[in-house]
Structure formats: C-alpha cells, structure tokens
Amino acid sequence: MSIVKLHDKYFKSFIKADKIDESIRKMAVLVEQDCEGEIPIFIGILNGSFMFVADFVRAYKGNCEVSFVKLASYKGTGSTGKVKELVGINENLEGRTVIILEDIIDTGNTLEEIFNIFRNKKVKQLKIATLFFKPDVFRKGLPIDYIGIPIPNKFIVGYGLDYDGLGRNLADIYQLTTQKMTNIVLFGPPGAGKGTQADVLKEKYDLIHISTGDVFRYNIKNETELGVLARSYMDKGDLVPDEVTIDMLKAEVDKNGDANGFIFDGFPRTESQAKALDAFLQEKGETINGMVALEVPEDLLVARLLKRGETSRRPDDQDESKIRNRFNEYETKTAILKHYYEDQDKYYGVDGVGSIEEITERLSAVFDTL
C-alpha cells in the first residue's frame, strides 16, 4: 500500500525496501574495507535504528560486536533538541574502533551529544554511519563518515522510524503528505444518470468531473497525439489499449493540479484500469476515496433508455435487445469492479430510483463521509 494513515496523519510511499537494502549493503562493504584487520563495535541508537542495525550487521562480513544506547529526544513530528537521558553501554571501549549506527540524522543535536560522550571514552577512532541524512538542516560540524541515502527535509516513517509510536514496522519509508484531494469513482449501468448527477455534485463539492467519453472526444476531435493513437485502433475495429486511456486521464488530471479532487465517470471499466488509476494517484500521494454506485433495476433502466431514444435518436437507445446486451456487457466486465473496491472497503451503493433531487441527496450523504 502506498498511502498509510498513522493517528491523524497520512503518509505516502517514498523509498522502497529494495533501495534501502541495496544502500545498506553498499555501506557495509565500505565499512568492512575501512576496518580491515580490526573488530569494530557497532553502536545502534534506539529506538529507530534497530532495523537498520540488524540488516547492517547481517550484511557486514567481518567479525564485529554490537551494542545499543537509548536517547529520549523526539516527540511528534519534530526534534525537541533536548536529550533527556542516555542509557549507556557496559563494554570497555578504550582503544576500540567504534562506529555509531544512526537511522537518521537531521539537525545533528542528538548526534552531537552522543559523539561527545563516546569521544571521552578513549576510543581508538569514532566514526558515524547513518542510513538517512538530511543535509538541508544539518547544522553541526561533525564528520559523517558513511551516508546511505540523502533525503530532503521531510518527516518520514517506516523501517524503524515512527510517528508517535506507530509506523516502525513498515518495510518501506513513507513521507508525510496532506491528502487534500477527494477522488470519487462514480459508477453505474447505462441510463443510471451518472452524467446528470456528476454535473450537480461537481458544483456542490468543487470537484473536477472527468468523463472518459468527453476526454476521448476531445482528444480525437483536436487530433492530439493520444487522440490520433486512439483513432488508429478504433479505425481497425480494435479496442483502445488501457495505457492510452489512462494516459489521456493522466493528462486531464495534470491539467488540474490545484483541484480539490475529481469525479471519475466512465473510468475505470475493468480491474486492470482500476489498478492503473490507483498506481497513478499513488505517485501523486493521493488515492481513490470511494466508488459510489447508482443502483437501479434493469427493467427500469431499459424503459428509461427507450424513452431517451425517442428524443436522442441514438440507435443503441431504440433497440431493447441492444440495450440489454449493453447491460450484459456491464455485468460481466465492469460490475466486477464492485468487488475490487469492496475488498478495500471503498464501495458505496446508492439507490438510484427517484427524482434527480432525491438521488442527489442520497449521493451527497455518501460524499459527505468521504
């Protein structure tokens, strides 16, 4: 999962576990080369470094010793800069090569206190290795001998790092994000009234309505690069590949980067499209808040579409067999998305029978919870 909620805050995926592992292995090789012929003692700084220390010593191929110290200096999302207590070690460090293993170094306040304590223990040499380093806020003149991954000044959790006690067990690193967008998939069979309701809801909630049909028509009419590509498939009677459709939607979302969120109408239609949409939003630190589906009996929908066909003159709205075939396509291919979002606790069914105002009121009750 690329977005997690810890207490009252959201965090988005930042650094994957495989990149962390690769960085640790490279650091272990460098330290081993520098400590050739010696048995260093590695000092982990608790609580955050326990995962880093464990993986580092596994990657270190030479003989070594390991110990830990604990400092209480952090609370919430920032450093207080006050070191309350040091739980010391019992080993005799005189004449030893000591390497401090830190999970993260930001301002350097805590590190300076630790460094001064160990420097007074008559060690042979004292070195510092940190998995994550924030150069933008580091204010001390201490030497950092080994740096795994430099990062910007973002609050991060995972891989031993926490937010008020939570998040240490995450394998990846996540960074704090403000989940400002509300992204809704508006769902329902042909004739359910999605377009009508989307026009009302986008104004009420100040969201951008993205209709796949409208996006397709715009790109094809204006002969954009994606429109020309889509037309090339359509002219051959082939389905437009998912990647072309999602690229059109990406362009539409990117054009509205300051939006409060989006109502996706007509997309996704398949599970693979839903996964592609999830992946795209996760790259932006966002997610689908919910699928809101209008539920209407098929016979009523058939009657609606036949009546619409009297004025629209659309051939597919004037033939009942064609209409029911569309419903069959919907049920066998598209409705499977209901289970996809149900598995994420993101499916919300809404009674789609009644006046436009009544249905809007029901939809709004769901939107308000999202």
- Catalytic residue numbers read 194, 269, 308, 314, 326
Rounded CA separation 337/274 (Å): 8
Whether the CB-CB separation of 366 and 292 falls below 8 Å is answered with yes
